[in-house]
Amino acid sequence: MPLVIFCGFPCSGKSRRSEELKEYLTEKTGRRVFVLGDETAGIDKNSVYSDSQKEKSLRGVLKSEVERKINKDDVVILDSLNYIKGYRYELFCLIKHAQTPHCLVYCLTSADISSTWNSIREKEKQYKQEILDSLIMRFESPDSRNRWDSPLFTVQKDDILPFEEICDAIFSRKAPPPNQSTQSQPLSSTNFLYELDKVTQDILMEVVNAQKTSVPGDLIAIPGSSEKISFS
């Protein structure tokens, strides 16, 4: 049903917070909670985040996985950097299409704290310093004034997750309305076939009449349309 998106610097505590939220939701709501992200994708972070094409591919994989997991009963948590506002907007469009609520949890840390936490990780889980610095430099902070970043919960390293507020955001709020282009089109009216046949006959008549006086290269106007076709 709802989607909870985590974002923050590398080594900002996102994964720990994701697990805390998963445990809380599982215990309090009894719902299934799926955590998706870099860890579940089994990537080599230094390899992926040093290559823009690999990183783009990872975002596509995670987005597709979110789309597959979203349903009316379960909760999906996306535990990844999600540092590009354009990508967060894409996720917002996805939840609008699925007509499900969402919220964003921003794990706010300083560059120095993230760098320190990275240095005390197991060696194989550490980011290379130059990659860490690059990701921090490129980070696009969320802004609650943007509808795709709202509702926004900002959590610093010593804060307790606002569990009740997050639950209220994803269970009590209405889903954002879908764009007209993403909605299922209504069934055609009962006179649809009659109207289709009439339009078709009008077009055919116009083309037949134009052929009587046209020469190759002339443009023929189509009834009900601004488009023209070339007579050959």
> C-alpha distances in angstroms, 82 versus 150, 206, 214?
14, 55, 59
77 is written with which tokens?
């948590």
Give residue-wise pLDDT tens across range 110-131: 999 999 999 999 999 999 999 9
Is the bond preceding residue 151 a cis peptide, omega within 30 degrees?
A: yes
Average the pLDDT over 59-63 and give the result: 94
Element spanning 187, H or E? none
pTM: 0.76
**CB 42 within 8 Å of CB 62:** no
Query: In the beta sheet, which residues pair with residue 6?
Result: 79, 105
Query: Which residues neighbour 78 within 8 Å (Cβ) at sequence distance 6 or greater?
Result: 3, 4, 5, 6, 36, 37, 62, 66, 91
Tally of CB atoms within 10 A around 197: 10
Q: Is the pLDDT of residue 80 over 90?
A: yes
Query: Which residues neighbour 130 within 8 Å (Cβ) at sequence distance 6 or greater?
Result: none
Q: What is the mean pLDDT of the chain?
A: 88
227 is written with which tokens?
């488009």
Q: Is the pLDDT of residue 43 over 50?
A: yes
